[in-house]
Structure 1
Amino acid sequence: MNHTMNADLPTDTLGSIASAPHILPALRAVVALVLLFLSGISFSLSFWSIPMLRRCSPSPTQVSQFSVIIEQGNAIMLPASQLLSVSLLSLTLLTASHPDPDIAGLWRWHVVSVLVLLVMGRWEKYAIFPTNDRILAFEHDVGIGEGKMKVTGTGVREFTLEEKKELKGLLDVWAARHPWRIVVTMVCGLITFGVTVSQTG
């Protein structure tokens, strides 16, 4: 008997937290805003920063600029992604624990977002991050470009024709794959926003 009561304590506690005023709406707002923010950052990279960069001729300067873009993007997107992970998992757990069955049933929508984002994370690991690393390898003269740059008459180091072709191809691949980040985060953000709207009024 006591064992059963103790087992129910975590569920009761989560239910009490979930039913507290403004807890779930606040979490939904945080999740929706972070998702739409990440989608906006990805949109800016895909349709503003990288297109301008691709208009330049492949060169060490182009790689350095790409490095700055990635560094700045990571400085913003990594903390935002960590906040999203904590908020979305908390939202899913608390929603499922809500004493009102109608509200508790909404946890399925949040699980959809969790699963979609997990799949995207795995996809990024194999489709986006290796491309980033290969491009950044030019800047550090390791892997691609190692010992192959030539020095012009002005003393400026440039890539060979083969490296320029390789760099252009990598940026083209990056530009083709990155828009999926926009779509996925926007869809998940709209799902959360839709749940929020359905619970207002």
Structure 2
Amino acid sequence: MEYVVVATHCHYDHVLGMEQFAPDSQILVSGNCPSFVSPANLPTHSLCKHMGIRTPVYTPILVSHQHAIRSRTHVPLALFDSAERMLYVGDSLYEEETIIFPKEGSIIEWMSSIEYLILFVKTQEEQGSNKTGPVLINSGHRTVSQPALGVLVAAKEFMQDVISGIEPVRERRTVRGDETVVYAQKGGRFALRCPERLVLAAQKISHM
């Protein structure tokens, strides 16, 4: 098939189909932490072990941040379509559904990524003309072809309210051995479920 498969993360619902591509297609994953997706750790981090299902076997290609994605015939591929001015984001940003951080997640890194995307969108819009219109965003499930800057800024503000304590905890539960908290913005645009220690870690950084 010779596809180029870009995995945003390694949870079971994203990687169970990888084996069909493994023989002849590129499977690109972030090289930020190679041990995280190693064969020894993939059963745990994919949640396959937790779900009691077989972990798929495949050999990913580890790539660095801002890696230039190309097809086998060297045609440039991208998560930002400059012709359509469309930004495609993975599972880390939802509207009207709950943003879920696993126990391996990091709100600190999420905030850094959102700030990077905000700067990216502002730069693209400043370089464009009035005729091209705003950069649009497609993220998870419900957010389709919406003005990217407004979505990103609103998501960042919600997370800042969580970190600062403005958003109250709506629910507590134990998930995979972690004390987990749930936040839900009034009006329902954004919600968050994550281990409480991730919020505490972000609070510690914000107070430094």
The TM-score normalised by the length of structure 1 is 0.24
Larger relative contact order (Cα-Cα within 8 Å, sequence gap ≥ 6)? 1
Larger radius of gyration: 1
